[in-house]
Structures are given as C-alpha cells and as structure tokens.
Amino acid sequence: MPDQRRDPLTKIADALGSPVLGAVLGIAGLVTPVIGWASERVNLEVLLFVQGALILVLAAGHLWTRRAYIRLRRTHHLKAMDDARYYDLVRAHLERELVSDYGEIADGHLRVYASEVPRLSALLVTTLTDAASEPQRILAADLTTNPQLLNWRREYLAANRRFTEGGGTINRLFIVYRDDLLKQDFARALLELIGRHRDIGVTCGLTVRDRLRADEAVDYVVFAAAAVLVEEEQGDADYTRGRSSVYFKGVHRWRSRFEAVWGSGADSAPRALQTYEAAVRPMLDASAWAEHRAAATVDTL
C-alpha cells in the first residue's frame, strides 16, 4: 500500500494552503490597520511590516493551492436543469467519486476496472517512452491459465511492439500450472503465444506455478523504475470484468521479486522455456503427444 506519511515540508506547504489559515490571515489583515488607527502610539513601519508579511503568506498559500490542487468549475445554475434536485444529487455523487479517485492518484495509487485495464496498460507503456524513464525496460509476470487471452490485448501488444522497436526491452514470464503444461492443446496455444511475443521482440521465460510461493504467483507488470500494474482479478476476453491497481511507489520491491523468479544462468526462466519447448514441440509437430514425456520434462524445470 502507498506510504501515507508526509514529510515536514509537505505539511508546511499544506498548512499554507489551508482555508482556515487563509481566513485567519484575512481577518488579521483587516484587524491590524484598525488597531493601528485606534492606537495613539503606533509605529507605522511595524504596521507596514505586519501587513506586508500577511500579504506574502496569503500569496504563498494561493500559489501552493494552485500548484497542489486541480481547479474544476462547479455549476451554480441549478434552475436551468429540468429537475434541479435530481441533477444536484447526481452531480454530488459524481464529484465524490472524482475527488476519491484523485486522492488515490495523489498518494501514488490508482485502481482501474474492466475495460479501463487494457487502455491504461497501453498508456503506461507509451508514457515510459515519452518520459524517457530509465531503464527502458518492462518486466511482466503473467499467470497464464488461458494463452488466448493475451492475444486479444491488441492495443497493449501494439504498444509493446512500438516500445521494443524504439529500443526498449521486455521480459515476460509465463507462470503456468504443471498440469496445464502436460496438456497438448494448452502446450500448442502457449507456444503460439510465445512465438507472437518473440516476433515483437519480447524475451520470454517459463516457470511452474505450483513451485512458487503465494506472493510470487502474482500477475503484474513493472514499468522501468516508475510504476507497477498489479492485476488483482484477471479480466475475461472482452474485459467485462477485471480489476487492477497501479502503484507509483515501492516499485523496486516488485522488480526484485520478478528478478528472483526469473533467475539466471542454467536455472533461469528462459532456459526452462527452452528445455520445455525442445521437448514438446517435436511431439506437437508430429501429432504424437506423450503426456508422460512432457511430465518428465516439466519435473526437471
């Protein structure tokens, strides 16, 4: 979860933009000259100094408010609506949702649902190039229960292609149940999917889901050192359901988690995929599937 603690500078800046402080300073600005006028012995220089200080604090608070908050127009022409009360209730509800969503974004966290997920996924890839974030690398862990699902993410795959053509690198880890790897139809669909990803420049790897801890068997994408998209509920083909969260803080923890499962050398996920593919592709090409041979290979990964 995002870190909610604020540093002292942020607290001071928020205090400057506080409506309460603004009201107090406004009242003080009115009272100060009155006291000076009523007092028989008033130091004009002190009075001018106090007035100047109040103006500066008010100006600083105004500038901070403009920088820290989004200004949106609120309608006051309720009488122009056919049903003013109904409109006002709907407007108030939508405003609460909008403020809630922007509050999450300000804290470095964003939730997206259903059809918003693939659109935001493509946006995160595209923005990685626009922001020139370093390293230009995407690390993706996919809980693969239906290889066809990723083929239907056309907008996201197109963004991936543009990213690799621009010099970026993508490592995609397919996390698959042992029993699925022993099925002929699943193996064929998985290798076809991997082939499509290789065609757009993605480095692919394979690991057996049954051997991972619960915190390792997670569907997520790490975008450089900038953000991580965590898929909490996998979407269906048309993304009529699904839920994901984007975190802009603590990204290094997800990167370390990916690298630990990806591995290196002879124990790496790409080497495991190479071993599995070398064993099952000849059987698929010859239409001579042997589950016991596939099982023997998977058990060595």
Task: Label residue 221 by pLDDT band (50, 70, 90).
Answer: very high
- In the chain, the amino acid numbered 61 is G
Question: Could you read off the pLDDT of 66-96 as tens digits, one per residue?
Answer: 666 556 666 666 677 766 776 677 777 667 7
| Domain chopping of the chain, boundaries | 8-68, 75-107, 108-298
- In the chain, the amino acid numbered 19 is P
Thinking of the domain 108-298, which architecture would CATH place it in? 2-Layer Sandwich (3.30)
Vertex 250 angle, CA 248 and 252, to 5°: 110
Q: What is the mean pLDDT of the chain?
A: 80
- Does the pLDDT value for residue 8 go beyond 70? no
Question: Could you read off the pLDDT of 131-143 as tens digits, one per residue?
Answer: 888 889 999 999 9
For the whole model, what pTM was predicted? 0.70
DSSP letters spanning 22-91: HHHHHHHHHHHHHHHHH-SS--HHHHHHHHHHHHHHHHHHHHHHHHHS--------GGGSSSHHHHHHHH
